[in-house]
Structure 1
């Protein structure tokens, strides 16, 4: 995911500061991104130079001034253009699968412990995602269709983890049966 596109997407919903953008992206299950915080601010400068966003400085009495960024018409056109590009297939690179490929080196107990640890991680991730959804973190709700799409996105992510959880449970059961 391009951080610039995520920023444009968020700004299409609400004006935000760089700090607000950082928090939304960090907490999001949809906008996976592994860069550092400086990249958000560098991207904002680039988007500003490209005319895709504007900013307004808001002075505060007891705090430092803050810049509030807003998407421009040109930025919305860029976001729409990207949204119309052909979708990429999901990446199915899971380091656990590589680990599992060589797990025959483990004793039955070690292998079961490995699978159980993975099962526990999956359970924790599902609980975390459910909690994020319960807390109502960033999700635009401008239209009924948009609300529906974001709910389906959340469902897709949770169902992926549930499918992985069922898969690992089946492996553990089959291995115990011998």
Structure 2
């Protein structure tokens, strides 16, 4: 009897926490599945993140350019927070890929070009206290991604010039080998 009461109390304590964590996820279940599928090919994973960030920035831009509706500022705030969370996750991945010499040369120029689009989209909404802080954080995340990708482009050029992939292996196979 005492263990059942303890178990019930434990469940009641953790249920709101678990619900809050599920609600706060910046990625949809479909997007999480895409990241799982692309986990073994770093370049594909980077491009998946670019797609997710494009979707968030496009949504922000659409909200800002369409006629105002109730809740728009809160939606922009939430999208900016999602954007920042996804951008930070991508930056963490880049931090991991660099020292491991994962071949992301094809995706880095696309990522670098995307940072300009994202910065423009994030600057589209007029100033508003409801989202100014979250937008500032999103713009900082874009700046960090721009810096990381610029640095990685140079590092990857130098590394793969000194360590060319074997001719008989596909690029993604080379990417997975320890270096």
Q: TM-score, normalised by structure 2?
A: 0.35
Whichever structure has more helix as a proportion of its residues is 2
Structure number with higher relative contact order (C-alpha < 8 Å, ≥ 6 residues apart): 2
Of Structure 1 and Structure 2, which has the larger fraction of its residues in strand?
1
TM-score, normalized by length of structure 1? Answer: 0.35
